[in-house]
Chain A
Amino acid sequence: MDTKTWILAIVLLIVGLLVGYFAAGPGQVKTVTTTKMVEKTVTVTKTVASTTSQPAQTTTAPAKKVEVKVGILLPLSGGSAFSGQEDLRGIQLAALHINQSKYPNIKFTMKLVIADTQTKQDVAVTELRRLAQEGVVAIIGAYNSAVTYPSAAEAERIGLPYVVPESVSDKITAQGWKYVFRTCANASKYAYDTLWAMADIAKANGVEVKSVALIYENSDFGVTTTEGLKKYLSKFFPNAKIVHEESYPAEEVTSMDDMVAKLKAENPDIVFHVAYLKDAVLFVQTMKKLNWYPKAYVGAGAGGQTRVEFIQQLGADANYVYTQTEWQPDFLNSKALGKWAWINDDFKKLYGRDMVGSSALNYVGTYVLAVAIQKALDSGANPNDIKAFRKAVRDALETIKIPAGELPLMPWGVDLTVPNHQNPEAAVAMAQILEGKFRVVWPIEFAPVKAVFPAPSWGKR
């Protein structure tokens, strides 16, 4: 190989690296820049936002605020990047609000150190080590349960508090780990709440449910949720029989005609479907094609049916579909949660649309961690002694108890004093798509509207 090609190659490489470097900015510094950018945008509208419900905050921050670093571990590239990026938006907004003193009791500055797991276990574990070395006091992450698990195990080894705001696998909080805390519901709770909600709704409408069908995609998500549904079915529907059960590969499925034809023959009262977006859309389209609809078609596990794209792709055919949902802007129309509307308003100003489940859950997880860090600071722990401070944050997390209504955005509270650190109060709401919008119909006390049950047949719509 001659010298010219060599030089060319090296020059190309250097140019590539430089372009990348300047486009991205180095490691952690870039995070602050984003936060500042975000801050500017929000400050413009701050006067409007703060007069509504939140006590107006002065723009002058207290002179010397302690800065605390928090590590963020999310899949920002690869297959789960879409969700990871949304999670990050929630976390960044929460950090911004904390840094703007929107929560008067939280008096420190949160600096985020962001890392990409690429949805790989080994990468996540390494990045966790790096974050630990950069002096973060706690970790928030990591969306995919299979990645959260090994990285949380590593955090436990190091003695680094780890807050899980969104990964649902039951295993994560089943290990008796001292440093791992989950603010959201686990997979079993999703199943439990699906049945609870539908039992409540059926009862309120005076309908007896005699038969159900379970349809699910065959990955971890579908299988765990369905196992939970089977486990708790008799508790909520003692007289109901499972007349059909079928799973399918979500990535590959192209036709559901056979499945829906079988269902049509069995005609169950409720179909519980654990699905991602594409397969959920296909299922509803196939039901229309075969002109059949159960009394209730329920998306369990807050999967594809809870996405805005579900309504966009199905149009009016999406109406009457029930879907579990972690969060909907409709919550803010309820009396109890209306006071948190300013958070979603800020989100809208930044991203031009409402928050969704992922961003809201991560916002809440970040908030809970911030409350704990503040508690640790109040207890006199020194943030410069990083090891001792992490322990203090862990101890503080273990005392966190926030009643429903005081926790931003969510219709539930947080209680991390339980031995396994799995928040027992986290619940998953049920929404129904009515007139092309997600309307929260359960828990009934947080629901602005009443559910339509049973759903009208295709001909009568």
Chain B
Amino acid sequence: MGLELKFTKKLIIAALLLIIGAIFPLFADEFLVSILMQAYLWAFLAMSWDVIGGYGGQFSLGHAAFLALGAYTSTILLQGYNVSPWVGMWAAGVVAGAAGALVGIASLRLKGPFFALGTIAFAELVKLLLLYFKGITGGPLGILITKSGPENMLFETQTPYYYLMFVLMLAGILFLKWFESSRFGIGLVAVREDEEAAEGVGINVYRTKVIGAAISAFLTGIGGTIYAQWIHFIRPDILVKLEYSTQIAAIDVVGGAGSPYGGLIGALILVPLSLYLNALFGGMIAGLSLILYGVVLLIVVVMIPGGIYGLLRRRLRRKLPDQR
């Protein structure tokens, strides 16, 4: 009985949030819409990160590289071969996913911080390769998207982008919901919790982690396509930034790693916060916004290790002990 009620409640809350999200652009002004839209994109990227970073427990600090690989793949296909990004985004995912697997193969056999280090190094490598293969990537000049039309995922106004990112974010949540109860997802969590025990029950630890990294990179690659379609102009030095990699990780960690909602919660808090702080202080004491942002991050990470979602869940459980 209690469980059913909870389910209905959840359903109602979800439906309400969905409706609010869907009709938001109708009554909010464009600036708010633009902020929320970015929060969705970052939420999706954080959820992608969550697959390996949260569920897999392998900290990546190079996700900007997968973002860039995705952005470049679909953009090269669009500009060079006239392939619509609606198709190209899947190719973007595959290329980024393959790269993720590669990093995983190289660094996940070892325990400890090697995956994190590997991803940082890999990001630098991707940047250099993008600069080097000028013929394909435009080198340091980057690539400009000059096509137009919805068939090429390009819109004249902001609202379509809002819905694009809204759907992307929802897809991310649904994917993680499915993922965490899938056989593979459970296996990955088991590996995170205790590698020896996982191996004991017949899970191939190394392979599981590598596939996790690949899935995570695959999703990030798709996010990269969306980013490129929104910004229209990609360039290695401006896209493959450690700042972006850490932002993706930070959003997820703050929101609550290893949960389907962590990415969204983190993004809804951190993205507007960083943009707001920048708007407030950027004009005068430039850089102060970054310091304050860092302070907030630090406080959350130190004081709420499970992220905000974890905190909420703990509170709820404490209040409703009998419903467990």
Contact = CB atoms under 8 A, between A and B. Distances in A.
Interface string B276-308: 001111111111111110011001000110000
- Residue from B30, B35, B286, B287 having most chain A Cβ neighbours under 10 A: B286
Interface stretch (A47-55, A149-157, A286-294): A149-157
Interface in B142-195: 142, 144, 146, 156-158
B282 A116 contact: yes
Interface in A18-34: 20-21, 23-28, 30-31, 34
A129 B276 CA distance: 12
A85 B278 CA distance: 16
Contact of A6 (B131, B144, B303): B303
A115 B139 contact: no
A432 interface: no
Given A24-B288, A116-B289, A127 B282 contact: yes
Nearest to B304: A1
Given A13-B295, A77-B290, A147-B238, A122 B231 contact: yes
B153 to A, nearest CB: 15
Contact of B30 (A31, A129, A150, A219): A129
B142 A76 contact: no
A48 to B, nearest CB: 30
A99 interface: no
B232 interface: yes
Contacts of B282: 76-77, 114-116, 118, 127
B34 interface: yes
Which range contains the number of A residues in contact with the other chain? 35 or more
A16 interface: yes
Contacts of A136: none
A402 B2 CA distance: 77
Contact of B38 (A113, A122, A223): A122
Interface string A93-133: 00000000000000000000111101111110111011011
A116 B238 contact: no
B67 to A, nearest CB: 12
A23 B291 CA distance: 14
A224 interface: yes
A9 B299 contact: yes
Contact of A114 (B231, B275, B283, B288): B283
Contacts of B243: 120
A31 B285 CA distance: 11
Contact of B283 (A30, A129, A171, A218): A30
A13 B283 contact: no
Given A13-B295, A121-B233, A20 B158 contact: no
B29 interface: yes
Interface in B167-226: none
A113 B235 contact: no
A219 B287 contact: no
Contact of A127 (B131, B279, B288): B279
Contacts of B57: none
B152 to A, nearest CB: 15
Given A24-B281, A116-B282, A119-B238, A149 B233 contact: yes
A316 interface: no
Chain A binding surface SS class: helix
A272 B174 CA distance: 57
- Residue from A1, A122, A222 having most chain B Cβ neighbours under 10 A: A122
B303 A9 contact: yes
Interface string A162-184: 00000001010001000000000
A17 interface: yes
B140 interface: yes
Contacts of A6: 303
A388 B67 CA distance: 39
B31 interface: yes
Contacts of A153: 232-233
B141 interface: yes
B232 A81 contact: no
A113 B235 CA distance: 28
Contact of A157 (B131, B140, B156, B289): B156
Contacts of A219: 131, 140, 237
Given A16-B292, A77-B290, A27 B141 contact: no
B278 A150 contact: no
Counting from the closest, the 4 A-B pairs by CB-CB distance are A116-B282, A76-B286, A114-B283, A77-B287
Given A114-B284, A223-B141, 9 more contacts: A12-B295, A13-B295, A16-B295, A27-B279, A27-B280, A78-B287, A132-B31, A157-B157, A223-B140
12 contacts: A13-B299, A26-B280, A31-B283, A76-B287, A114-B282, A120-B243, A123-B278, A125-B231, A129-B34, A133-B31, A147-B238, A223-B141
